[in-house]
Amino acid sequence: MKIIDGKVISQQVKDEVKQKTTQLKEKTGTEVCLAVILVGSDPASQVYVRNKKKACEYVGFKSLSYELPEETTQDELLALIDKLNKDDSVHGILVQMPVPEHIDEKTVIDAISPLKDVDGFHPMNVGALCIGEKGFVSCTPAGIIQLLKRSDIEISGKECVIVGRSNIVGKPMALLMLRENATVTVAHSRTADLKSVCKRADILIAAVGKPKMITEDYVKEGAVIIDVGINRNADTGKLCGDVDYENVAPKCSAITPVPGGVGPMTIAMLMNNCLESALRKAGE
């Protein structure tokens, strides 16, 4: 059984981005720039934003940080997005979700220029993914493809079952696996007999948000298990995934741990998307 090490692979991706960022600057003078907007003071969001800024520093991007008060109006936020959309020196714009309740998430996502939507949430980018055109792909699913490819796991022709159909993980994951020529099933809370559906999988991707829900009896012998879940154990405060790692690991051929599996890939792919945006802008 192989443990797929997201820390090592995300480091490889970040190092590649760093190298290409230096090359782009030397060749064209471009300074890659990511604007990160946080509205309110949600502690988890503050940690995410801090980590994104740190990653920008590592790969050599300029990061613009806008930490706006909770009472910021939707119009004020949209005005800032509009300003950043028009700013030629900004290559990526990210609004940390969730936004406070008085702001409509969809309106915010729609307002970001699809050419700077490095989260890959804009309907234009989702549509591009759906019909196989170029565009930004949601970072977590894009990171999972990298984990599989860089671990030499064959995707083409394999049965892939994805549990979860959210717009940011499950659905784009299904489209990406389809693009990689897997045979894809998307399961969700209304799926009948989830266990037998999951047992068909050569590659099982759990993106549910239910601690240790996927036990050994959901898993075919020799399957590859990707655990997207990030759950905090209420008693111990420790992080755990959607997969019951200790029981499932002996049965599978490869598995991602939590933490240290899918998690670190998300920011690495965000950096990669932002670099892509700058390369595109520079005509590279």
Q: Which residues bind ligand NAP (CB under 6 A)?
A: 140, 163-166, 168-170, 187-191, 194, 207-210, 228-231, 262-263, 266
Closest distance to ligand NAP from the beta carbon of 270 (Å): 10
Other Cβ atoms closer than 10 A to 183? 15
d(CA 205, CA 75) in angstroms, rounded, equals 38
Q: In this structure, what are the phi and psi dihedrals at residue 214, rounded to the nearest 5 degrees?
A: -85, 105
Sign of CA dihedral 18, 22, 24, 29: positive
Clarify whether 146 is annotated catalytic.
Answer: no
Cβ closer to ligand NAP: 35 or 194? Answer: 194
Clarify whether 134 is annotated catalytic.
Answer: no
Token pair of 195, please? Answer: 């266990």
Cβ closer to ligand NAP: 24 or 49? Answer: 49
* Active-site option among 117, 119, 227, 244: 119
* SS3 assignment, position 77: helix
Clarify whether 14 is annotated catalytic.
Answer: no
Token pair of 177, please? Answer: 């696996």
Cβ closer to ligand NAP: 197 or 249? Answer: 197
The distance in angstroms from the start CA to the end CA of the chain is 41
Closest distance to ligand NAP from the beta carbon of 205 (Å): 10
Token pair of 53, please? Answer: 């800024």
Closest distance to ligand NAP from the beta carbon of 28 (Å): 31
* Active-site option among 52, 158, 171, 212: 52
* Residue nearest ligand NAP by beta-carbon distance: 166
Closest distance to ligand NAP from the beta carbon of 144 (Å): 9
Cβ closer to ligand NAP: 80 or 126? Answer: 126
* Active-site option among 96, 117, 146, 171: 96
Cβ closer to ligand NAP: 33 or 49? Answer: 49
Closest distance to ligand NAP from the beta carbon of 168 (Å): 5
Amino acid identity of residue 185, one-letter, is: T
Inter-residue contact 203 to 162 (CB < 8 Å): no
Q: How many CA atoms lie within 13 A of 149 on its CB side?
A: 13
Closest distance to ligand NAP from the beta carbon of 7 (Å): 13
Strands (E), the chain: 2-3, 33-39, 62-68, 92-95, 159-163, 183-187, 203-206, 224-227, 231-232, 239-240, 254-255
Q: Which residues of 125-135 are buried (b: 16+ CB within 10 A; e: fewer)?
A: bbebbeeeeeb
Cβ closer to ligand NAP: 163 or 175? Answer: 163
Write out the catalytic residue numbers.
Answer: 52, 96, 119
